[in-house]
Amino acid sequence: AKIPTYDALPAFKNFPGCAWSVWGSEDQLGTVNLLTDKVVKAAASEEIKLGRSVSLNWPLNFPEKPMFDRQTPQIDMKVREPQDLGVRDDEIHINTQSGTQWDGMRHFPLLEHGVFYNKFSSTRSTPLDSLPKGILPLPNPHQIDPAHARIGIQNWATHGICGRGVLLDLVSYQTSLSANKTLPYDPWSSHAITVPELEACAAAQGVKFRRGDILLVRVGFIKKYYDASQPERDGLQGLQGQETFAGIEQSEDMKRFLWNNHFAAIASDQPALERWPPPEGTLHLHQTILGLWGMPIGEFFDLEKLSRVCAETGRYTFFFSSWPLNMSPSPQTLNLQMSTS
Ligand code: UVW
């Protein structure tokens, strides 16, 4: 079916490029709809050539000191029997932004309008100022808007995010262009990656995009992490809002590039895909990508080995398969916590 171009999509209030009408008002898959049987079958038959698996999975406990004031994952080992014969159940408590992960639709609304993808409400029925101060669970699970459950990650988890993957290896591309063969930007600075850079990298690698591609952009964050000393790694943990890292620029051109190429999902090796922080007065891309398009944003994808295999084979496309955490939120399991301080 024909999908409107970015400029032909309607606006939602001050946001151009709203795709809520593309797959219907009840849709909960967003751009994952582009991963049709036909698209996945073509990817499998054309891309699986060597049969070699390359994991992109960075450990859940990386970065060792989480950014954005997040908590380190914890494992509680539960002893199963009173005699302690050694049988253990592990209970793992994680912030879902740990390690390699997809941002789901419930991660980011259009902040000033209180709506997630497809206008599902992001607001609570209990006003913030009527709650006591501190981090607290809301007392009554039924105060959670049902939208929080309906657009959870379970929709992508049960559909799968599988199809043709495309690596744009900016690190190798930019390094090869520089006179002294070093990366000409610091991946831990707020350097902005532009559309012409992405397009030039794709052209140099011989990549032509197709509808439904899963785009992976290697910016260099994880490479630098591997090369860094422990104190340097620990220094990444700024207080909320002080982190800086390179990523795709917040611009209308970037939105046009992402939408008009009809990517099903986009991921990178850094914490947020987009450069951080966004320049003063610019809206985060998260709001458009998740809130207006329902496009999965992959973060902390370890693209180091993939980069080596692509360089070795001279091929930057492959079959990509990902099955997000299948946690189906219900009023019983969804314990909304908030900071009111
Ligand atoms: C932002 O909030 C921008 O990034 P993350 O997806 O890591 O939360």
Please report the DSSP string for 138-165 in residue order: -S-GGGS-HHHHHTSTHHHHHH-EEEEE
- Cβ(116)–Cβ(291) below 8 Å: yes
Ligand 1 atom having least distance to the Cα of 97? 7
In percent, the amount of the chain with pLDDT more than 70 equals 88
Task: List, for residues 191-226, the tens digit of each pLDDT value.
Answer: 999 999 999 999 999 999 999 999 999 999 999 999
Neighbours of 59 (CB within 10 A): 13
What is the reported pLDDT for 337? 65
Compute the mean pLDDT over every residue in the chain, rounded to the nearest whole number: 91
pLDDT band for position 277 (cuts 50, 70, 90): very high
pLDDT for residue 104 is more than 50: yes
d(CA 18, CA 98): 29
Distance of CA 31 to the CA centre of its chain: 13
pTM of the model: 0.93
ipTM summary value: 0.90
Average pLDDT over residues 162-178: 98
pLDDT given for residue 320 in this prediction: 98
pLDDT value at 328 more than 90: no
Residues within 6 Å of ligand 1 by CB: 97, 103, 271-272, 284, 286, 299
Read off the pLDDT of residues 8-57 as tens digits, 9 standing for 90 and up.
999 999 999 999 999 999 999 999 999 999 999 999 999 999 999 999 99
The per-residue pLDDT for 89 is 94
Report phi then psi at 299, rounded to 5.
-130, 150
Strand, helix or coil for residue 207: coil
pLDDT of residue 127: 47
**What distance in Å separates the CA atoms of residue 99 and residue 299, rounded to the nearest whole number?**
8
Strands lying side by side in the sheet with 161-169: 101-103, 297-299, 265-268, 214-218, 161-169, 317-322
Ligand 1 atom nearest the C-alpha of 286 is: 3
Q: Is the pLDDT of residue 134 over 90?
A: no
- Please check the confidence at residue 145 and state whether its pLDDT lies above 80: no
* The length of the chain, given as a count of residues: 341
pLDDT at 59: 97
Beta bridge partners of 93: 74
State the distance from the centre of ligand 1 to the C-alpha of 247, rounded, in angstroms: 12
pLDDT tens-digit series, residues 64-90 = 999 998 999 999 999 989 999 999 999
What's the angle, vertex CA 179, arms to CA 173 and CA 185, rounded to 5?
60
Beta strands in the chain (DSSP E): 74-79, 88-93, 101-103, 135-137, 161-169, 192-193, 214-218, 247-248, 265-268, 297-299, 317-322, 337-339
- Please determine, for residue 60, whether its predicted confidence score (pLDDT) is greater than 50: yes
The whole-angstrom separation of Cα 341 and Cα 338 is: 9
List, as own/partner pairs, every contact residues 282-288 make where C-beta atoms lie below 8 angstroms and the sequence separation is at least 24, other chains included: 282/250, 283/15, 283/250, 284/108, 284/250, 285/248, 285/250, 285/254, 285/255, 286/103, 286/107, 286/108, 287/15, 287/108, 287/109, 287/110, 287/111, 288/15, 288/17, 288/255
Pocket test for ligand 1, best of 97, 242, 282 (most atoms within 8 A of CB): 97
- Between the CA of 172 and the centroid of ligand 1 the distance, in Å, is 25
Q: What is the secondary structure of 82-99 as a DSSP string?
A: TT--S-EEEEEE--TTSS
Q: What is the mean pLDDT of residues 321-333?
A: 82
Stronger pLDDT, 282 or 146, i.e. the higher one: 282
Atom of ligand 1 nearest to the CA of 274: 3
Which residue puts its alpha carbon closest to atom 7 of ligand 1? 272
Q: In the prediction, which pLDDT does 341 show?
A: 41
Contact 299, 271 (CB under 8 A): yes
Predicted local confidence at residue 333, as pLDDT: 67
For residue 149, what pLDDT band results from cuts at 50, 70 and 90? confident
Q: Does the pLDDT at position 244 exceed 70? A: yes
Q: What is the pLDDT of residue 150?
A: 83
Given a contact cutoff of 8 angstroms between Cβ atoms, the answer to whether 104 and 152 are in contact is yes
Q: Which pLDDT belongs to residue 331?
A: 60
- pLDDT at position 139 is 45
CA angle 108, 122, 99 (to 5 degrees): 30
Q: Tell me the C-alpha distance between 87 and 81, whole Å.
A: 7
Determine the distance separating the centroid of ligand 1 and the alpha carbon of 284, expressed in angstroms: 9
Instruction: State the Rg of the chain over Cα.
Output: 21
Residue with the nearest Cα to atom 1 of ligand 1? 272
pLDDT at 272 over 60: yes
Buried (b) or exposed (e) across 312-339, using 16+ Cβ within 10 A?
A: eeebbbbbbebebeeeebeeeebeeeee
Residue 155 tokens, joined: 């929709």
| pLDDT bucket at 141, cuts 50 / 70 / 90 | very low
Distance, CA of 266 to CA of 197 (rounded, Å): 16
The pLDDT of residue 97 is 95
